């Protein structure tokens, strides 16, 4: 609750009970109106706001029972925003003599249908005297709140307000000078699931509500990740928190035994341990460390989940690293095929950006920017692996050597994923005797490849084959001997992920960066040759 909300509730309770005692001395039929008018007058005078109470009923014997319905409090008489406080029904119970002791004590308060609309903080809020003693000091043995709604109103009325729904809340020994024990059940909107939490709240810091201490433990169960478009699974989480409302330190563990991405629909058992800081006043979450593990891979992540004031929703920015992972795990999680295209170790660094676009699929708004390296990879497709083995044999100048088989590959690359398209600014693939430098794209929806680059072989062109072909190709060896490689060929890779097509690309022109270098070198050589000729001619003219 906000500072004013707490004061209002305590004031309503104390005023109803105390005036109920006075009402016991009035034996006329109109005592209900007397109590109602008295409560309204006191609250209006104290909070300078319009107060409405539909009805109040007070019973004095054998205990004091008071019931108020339809309690509404406007914020500084403003009608342009929802009422600051709405209570459908307020029930108070107290022992007669406990109200005459210091401090006054109320046995129980039951709030049904409590709505709190907190307006945005004013530019120059009034600072109250920290030494001020609270009015109407009251200790409440138990507060029960059912179906409570807590809403943070944005400065811009066109933006979506932040809302917390508390299904059931119980607070014990609520007092102004110490913490109160609490237990609450909540319904989390996204992902949908139930939350149980218990701990201690307070003492309430009236002048700085955001500095109110709170600590406890929580359990988040049966959270349906399917409500977050693009992923599926049932998540559970347990952990603890402590701090103050605007700086809660949270640590916990999650387990999702059937986590899956829409792009593959392959379920994996995803476990994670996280350390975060949560701003309890606006819900922003700052992830100091998230260590996630699935299959045989571990991902380390840090970042933030922050509400974007323009979009009215939360965006996610994460920095992820994989130091010891498996490329087959990553492919199994992302790609539709039941059998990953390759096996091998992977290292990865990436910036993950999920802009806030409410209702839009996760993959439709996902932006990835990073680098990766795959070591000692082996292709699972027999036909693809045979092509790789053949490439290695030819690159080593031993095209008929059957002992060269099951060759491992290494990949390195920089990539950018946006709108389901992965653009590789640089992609290097090498095996023994051969290296491929590529740039291009991969469409995650159609699984189509479109890459162009260079194939460099240690062997000369004539050494990549045997017999008459080898003899004929010797004449062409000088034309393809470039940049220290025995053979350098322009290539293109197209087709699908499962059935790639490899071919030479002699029709490619100025997009070949290596030929650009060759052209630049030749141009410089011609320029120097002309300068030398000019100097030689000048010497000859001078001699003449």
| Residues 481, 440 contacting (CB under 8 angstroms) | no
State which of 72-86, 145-159, 164-178 shows the largest mean pLDDT.
Answer: 164-178
Could you tell me the pLDDT band of residue 543, with boundaries at 50, 70 and 90?
very low
Rounded distance between C-alpha atoms, residue 395 and residue 97, angstroms: 98
Mean pLDDT, all residues of the chain: 78
110 has pLDDT over 50:
yes
Single out the residue of 240, 281, 239, 235 nearest to residue 259, CA to CA: 235
**pLDDT tops 50 at residue 353:** yes
Specify the pLDDT at position 524: 57
Number of helices (H), then strands (E), belonging to the chain: the values are 8, 24
Residue 275 vs residue 49, higher pLDDT = 275
Task: Give the least confident one: 58-72, 446-460, 483-497, 518-532.
Answer: 518-532
pLDDT at 354 over 90: no
Considering only 249-253, 386-390, 474-478, which range has the smallest mean pLDDT?
474-478
β strands within 444-519, DSSP E: 448-457, 487-496, 500-504
Average pLDDT rounded to a whole number, residues 33-62: 70
Residue 516, pLDDT > 60, answer no
For the whole model, what pTM was predicted?
0.71
More reliable by pLDDT, 112 or 531? 112
pLDDT band at 11 (very low <50, low <70, confident <90, very high): low
- For the stretch 451-497, pLDDT in tens is 999 889 998 888 888 888 888 888 888 888 877 778 888 888 898 87
pLDDT for 134 equals 45
DSSP 178: B
% of the chain at pLDDT higher than 90: 22
402-412 pLDDT, tens digit each: 888 888 889 99
Mean pLDDT over residues 279-294, rounded?
82
Q: How confident is the model at residue 328 (pLDDT cuts 50, 70, 90)?
A: very high
How confident is the model at residue 71, as a pLDDT?
A: 86
Phi/psi-derived region of residue 419, left when phi > 0, alpha when psi is between -120 and 50, beta in every other case: left
**500-504 and 487-496 beta bridge pairing:** antiparallel
DSSP calls for 132-177: PPPSS-EEEEEEEEEEEEEEE--SSTTSPPEEEEEEEEEEEEEBTT
- Give the number of other CB atoms < 10 A from CB of residue 544: 5
- Whether 522 shows a pLDDT value over 60: the answer reads no
* More confidently predicted of 497 and 71: 71
For residue 42, give the H/E element and its range: helix 31-47
- Give residue 24's pLDDT: 47
pLDDT at position 79: 76
Q: Which of 405, 418, 477 is nearest to 445 (CA)?
A: 418
Is a pLDDT exceeding 90 seen at residue 210? no
Quick check: 248 and 283 in contact, CB under 8 A?
no
Distances from the Cα of 396 to the Cα of 113, 138, 386, 468, 490, angstroms: 79, 88, 15, 19, 18
Q: Picking from 135-144, 274-283, 508-517, which range would have the lowest pLDDT averaged per residue?
A: 508-517
Torsion (CA) 472, 475, 480, 481 in degrees, nearest 10: 120
- For CA atoms 288, 244, 127, 49, give the dihedral sign: positive
Q: Looking at residue 510, what is its pLDDT?
A: 43
As a whole number of angstroms, the distance between CA 418 and CA 336 comes to 19
- Of 211 and 291, more confident: 291
Return the number of other C-beta atoms located less than 10 Å from residue 358's C-beta.
10
Residues written for the chain: 544
* Euclidean distance between CA atoms 261 and 227, whole angstroms: 13
For residue 74, the model assigns a pLDDT of 83
Task: Say how far apart CA 501 and CA 384 lie, in whole Å.
Answer: 10
């Amino acid at each position: 609750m906000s500072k004013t909300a707490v004061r209002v509730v305590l004031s309503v309770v104390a005023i109803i009970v105390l005036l109920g005692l006075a009402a016991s001395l009035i034996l006329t039929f109109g005592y209900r109106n007397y109590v109602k008018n008295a409560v309204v007058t006191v609250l209006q005078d104290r909070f300078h706001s319009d107060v409405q109470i539909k009805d109040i009923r007070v019973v004095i014997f054998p205990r004091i029972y008071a019931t108020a319905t339809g309690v509404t409090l406007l914020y500084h008489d403003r009608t342009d925003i929802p009422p600051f406080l709405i209570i459908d029904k307020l029930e108070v119970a107290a022992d007669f003599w406990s109200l005459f002791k210091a401090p006054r004590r109320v046995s129980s308060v039951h709030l049904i249908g409590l709505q709190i609309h907190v307006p945005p903080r004013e530019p120059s809020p009034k600072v109250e005297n920290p030494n001020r003693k609270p009015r109407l000091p009251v200790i409440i043995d138990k507060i029960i709140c059912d179906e409570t709604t807590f809403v943070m109103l944005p400065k811009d009325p066109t933006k979506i307000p932040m809302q917390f729904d508390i299904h059931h809340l119980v607070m014990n020994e609520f007092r102004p000078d110490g913490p109160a024990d609490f237990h609450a059940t909540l319904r989390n909107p996204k992902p949908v699931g139930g939350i149980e939490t218990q701990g201690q709240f307070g003492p309430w810091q009236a002048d700085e509500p955001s500095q109110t201490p709170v600590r406890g433990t929580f359990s988040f169960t049966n959270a349906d990740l399917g409500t977050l478009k693009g992923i599926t699974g049932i998540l559970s989480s347990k952990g603890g928190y402590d701090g103050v409302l605007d700086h809660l330190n949270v640590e916990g563990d999650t387990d999702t035994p059937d986590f899956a991405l829409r792009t593959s629909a392959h379920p994996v058992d995803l476990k994670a341990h996280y350390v975060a800081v949560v701003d309890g006043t606006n819900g922003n979450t700052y992830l100091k460390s998230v260590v996630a593990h699935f299959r045989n891979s571990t991902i380390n992540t840090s970042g933030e989940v922050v509400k974007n004031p323009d979009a009215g929703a939360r965006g996610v920015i994460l920095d992820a690293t994989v130091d010891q992972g498996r490329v087959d795990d990553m492919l199994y999680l992302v790609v539709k095929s039941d059998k990953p295209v390759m096996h091998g170790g992977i290292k990865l660094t990436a910036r993950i950006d999920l802009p806030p676009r409410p209702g839009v699929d996760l993959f439709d708004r996902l932006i990835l920017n990073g680098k990766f390296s795959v070591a000692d990879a082996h292709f699972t497709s027999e036909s693809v692996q045979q092509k790789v083995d053949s490439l290695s044999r030819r690159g080593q100048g031993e095209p008929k050597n059957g002992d060269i088989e099951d060759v491992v590959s290494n990949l390195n690359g920089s990539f950018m994923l946006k709108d389901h398209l992965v653009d590789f600014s640089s992609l290097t693939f090498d095996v023994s005797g051969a290296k491929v430098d590529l740039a291009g794209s991969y469409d995650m929806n159609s699984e189509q490849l479109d890459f162009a680059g260079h194939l460099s072989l240690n062997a000369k062109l004539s050494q990549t084959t045997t017999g008459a072909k080898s003899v004929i190709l010797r004449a062409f060896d000088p034309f393809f001997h470039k940049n220290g490689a025995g053979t350098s060929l322009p290539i293109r890779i197209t087709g699908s992920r499962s059935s790639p097509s490899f071919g030479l690309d002699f029709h490619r022109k100025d997009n070949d960066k290596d030929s650009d270098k060759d052209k630049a070198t030749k141009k410089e050589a011609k320029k120097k040759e002309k300068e030398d000729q000019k100097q030689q001619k000048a010497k000859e003219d001078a001699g003449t």
